[in-house]
A = this chain, B = another copy of it.
Amino acid sequence: MCKIIYMKSDLHIVKIGGNVINDEVALTSFLKDFASIKGLKILVHGGGKKASEMAEKIGLTPRMKNGRRITDAANLEVVIMVYAGLLNKNITAKLQEQNCNAIGLSGADANSIKAHKRIVKDIDYGFAGDVDKVNDTALKVFLENSLTPVFCAITHDKNGQLLNTNADTIASEIAASLASSYNVHLVYCFEKNGVLKDINDDDSVIEDINSKSYKELKQKNIIADGMLPKLENCFYALHKGVKKIIIGNPSVIVTKDQKYTSLTV
C-alpha cells in the first residue's frame, strides 16, 4: 500500500511592538532581519507612539484605560490613518526594498479578519474590535503565491465598520487559524529579552514556560500587569495547535545567542 505523507511547511509569524516601530534605525534593521527569514512568513505590527502624536497634533486627547486605548470615532480615524496607512505602507515599501514580496493588509482586506465591536461592560472602549474569525483561505492564497502578509491592527465587522484591535491578539488569532495547515513558529518581539522574573533585571529571563508553570508564576505574582494579556494570547494559540512560541527582543528572529522565553503547552 502506498501512503502519501504531506509535510507541513514552516510558517514564521512575527509580531513587533511599538518600541521597534518608534525607532527608525531599529525598524530598518529589524525589517532586514525579517526579510532574511527563509520561506513563508507573516508580520504583524503594533502602532507605536505615532498615533498618539498625530491625535495630539489635530487636537485630540488620547484616552487609555487599563493600558488599552479608548477609540472614539475621531481617534478611530487617526489609528486607521496611522496604522493602516503610514506605518503599514512604509513597512511594506521597506520590505519590498529588501526583495520581500510584502502585502500590507488590514482585516477588511480580503475579509481577512472579521471582528465585532467590543461589548460594553464596565468600560466603553468605543470602536475596539474583538476578533471573530481569521480567513485562513485568503491567507493561504497569499502565502502560496509567495506573498508576505503584513498586518496592521485594524479589523472590520463585515458591516462596513473598521475597528481598532490589539496587535498581540491578531498575531495569536492568525497563528491559531493556520496551525492545522503549517508548522507555525510564532514570535513576539518587544523591548525586553523575554518574560522577566524581575522587571528591572533584563537578564532575569524565564527561559521556559508551560501551562503548569504559567499558573504558578501567576499565583506568585511574578507574571502580572501588561505581561498577562500577552501570555493569555500565547496560551490561546498553543491550545489551538501552535507548537511553540518565543518571546524576546527583535534579534531573536535571526539569532538564538541571547536569552529568550520559550512557551509550550
A226 at interface by CB-CB < 8 Å: no
A162 at interface by CB-CB < 8 Å: yes
Residues of B within 8 A of A185 (CB): none
Prevailing SS type, chain A contact patch: helix
A108 at interface by CB-CB < 8 Å: yes
| Distance from A57 Cβ to chain B, minimum over Cβ atoms (Å) | 5
A145 at interface by CB-CB < 8 Å: yes
Q: Check A104–B108 contact: CB distance below 8 A.
A: yes
| Distance from A251 Cβ to chain B, minimum over Cβ atoms (Å) | 21
Q: Check A104–B106 contact: CB distance below 8 A.
A: yes
Binds B, one of A90-98, A166-174, A215-223, A229-237: A90-98
**Interface positions of A from 141 to 163, Cβ below 8 Å from B:** 141, 145, 147, 154, 156, 158-162
Partner of A156, one of B83, B84, B96: B96
Residue tally, chain A, CB below 8 Å to B:
41
Q: Check B108–A160 contact: CB distance below 8 A.
A: no
Q: Check B86–A80 contact: CB distance below 8 A.
A: yes
A81 at interface by CB-CB < 8 Å: yes
**Interface positions of A from 53 to 104, Cβ below 8 Å from B:** 54, 57-59, 77, 80-86, 88-90, 92-94, 96-97, 101-104
Partner of A81, one of B86, B92, B105, B111: B86
Q: So how many copies of this chain end up in the complex?
A: 2
| Distance from A98 Cβ to chain B, minimum over Cβ atoms (Å) | 8
| Distance from A157 Cβ to chain B, minimum over Cβ atoms (Å) | 8
Bound Cα distance from A102 to B82, whole angstroms: 21
Residues of B within 8 A of A103 (CB): 105, 109-110
Residues of B within 8 A of A54 (CB): 58, 81
Having A93-B161, A97-B159, one finds 15 other A-B pairs with CB under 8 Å, namely A54-B81, A80-B85, A81-B81, A82-B85, A83-B85, A84-B89, A85-B85, A85-B88, A89-B162, A92-B109, A93-B108, A93-B160, A96-B156, A97-B160, A138-B147
- Which A residues are closer than 8 A to B by beta carbons? 54, 57-59, 77, 80-86, 88-90, 92-94, 96-97, 101-106, 108-111, 138, 141, 145, 147, 154, 156, 158-162
9 closest residue pairs by CB, A with B: A85-B85, A81-B81, A97-B160, A81-B85, A93-B108, A93-B156, A84-B85, A92-B108, A103-B109
